Structure 1
Amino acid sequence: MESEELLGNLGQEENGVPKKEKKSPLISLEKDLTFYADSIKEVAVEIMMEGISLHPIFIAHQHEVSIGEVILNKADLNTDWTIQASTLEEFIQKGIIHPDKKEQFLKTYKKPENYMCVFVVVPQGANFVYYPYPKEK
């Protein structure tokens, strides 16, 4: 699947003029992931307990993507990032992870009880990030 399919109508240019560089969106992502952590963990546990998948994946984006289901909408929560819930199986089905790369992916996949697996989508591309859940107090 091409990034254009995931990102919808998001472009690198506006009216034929390249967009100006902004500060890294990852700063606001860390803030939002910390804020969302309890909700994301709850959904991850639900995905695993209901037998949907042993490998939940969350998509963080600021635009529209066509994978997973919205669980935390930035517009509703007054945050910078929307989070969608998906699974390894859907990533393989949509061609984001090639079936031949499944085992390689699983070797790097961290325990979903301790880390959220986040597929971060930005205009420049997308990548997997493992973000630890805050320690229980």
Structure 2
Amino acid sequence: MNEENINANEAPKKVSPLVSLEEDLKFYSDSIKEVSVEIMVEGISLYPIFIAHQHEVKIGELILNREELNTKWTIQASTLEEFVEKGIIHPDKKESFIKNYKRPEDYMCVFVIVPDGANFIFYPFK
């Protein structure tokens, strides 16, 4: 087999978008923590959720715009209550979500939206 065939059979390795997300979350950490504390102190929610996306979403309030900050991800702030209200978290799953929610003083709860779908992650504040 010549080299051409070997290389043609190897799928190009795609870099996960989560690599750039981690970089941005480190960069955004202090700002996200500030907003998280504000949401809790003001009595808005005990369960802040931050939406990380690269497109447009219709949930939460824009807090960090990737175009303005020259980063790869935009972050919006929301709450468990809004996620239930919008049907993203089913009311029957609310208690389970609360049980699995990590200490908001130590972790940001991030709802990551990528073309393949969306998922929750808990990322430690720096």
Question: After TM superposition, is the score higher than 0.5?
Answer: yes
Runs of 4+ in 1 over 6 A off after TM superposition: none
Q: Which residue of 2 aligns with 1:25?
A: 17
Deviations 1:4-47 (A, max 9, x none): xxxxxxxxxxxxxxxxx842100000000000000000000000
Identity %: 75
Residue 121 (1) aligns with residue 99 (2)? no
**Structure-2 separation of matches of 1:94 and 1:88:** 10
Residue 95 (1) aligns with residue 95 (2)? no
How many residues align? The count is 115
In the alignment, residue 115 of structure 2 is paired with which amino acid?
Answer: P
Q: Which residue of 2 aligns with 1:67?
A: 59
Q: Which residue of 1 aligns with 2:34?
A: 42
Q: SS where residue 89 of structure 2 aligns?
A: coil
Going by fraction, where is helix more abundant, 1 or 2?
2
Deviations 1:99-130 (A, max 9, x none): 00001111110000000000000000000000
Unaligned runs of 5+ in 2: 1-12
TM-score (norm 1): 0.82
Unaligned runs of 5+ in 1: 1-20
**Aligned-residue CA RMSD (Å):** 1.2
Which structure has the greater CA radius of gyration? 2
